[in-house]
Amino acid sequence: MSLLTRDCQRHEIYKNQYRAMFVENVEVVDELMTHQFGDRDLFYPVRCVVCKTSVGVVDLEEVYHFFNVLSGYA
């Protein structure tokens, strides 16, 4: 298990999704574009650098959207 961010916000509707701007231990898969809903909704997959598991997507404003993660509260 690897730490991906220390500061994130939980999604209001989808309680298992989070968004963050400052991340670590992730890499963007630039060669794959995942979703396109209009001109500004482009996303690229993000995966953990340690285990290569898909953990979410990043948008064009460099906001990371995590959905395949475990949350921890400190």
State residue 71's pLDDT score.
Answer: 85
pLDDT, tens digit, for every residue of 57-71? 999 899 999 998 888
pLDDT, tens digit, for every residue of 27-45? 999 887 766 666 667 899 9
Q: How many domains in the chain?
A: 1
The 3 state secondary structure assigned to the chain is CCCCCCCCEECCCCCCCEEECCCCCEEECCCCCCCECCCCCEEEEEEECCCCCEEEEEECCCCEEECCCCCCCC
Residue 71 maps to a domain: no
Residue 58 maps to a domain: yes
Residue 73 maps to a domain: no
Residue 34 maps to a domain: yes
Residue 36 maps to a domain: yes
Residue 19 maps to a domain: yes
Q: Please give the residue range of the domain that contains residue 53.
A: 9-66
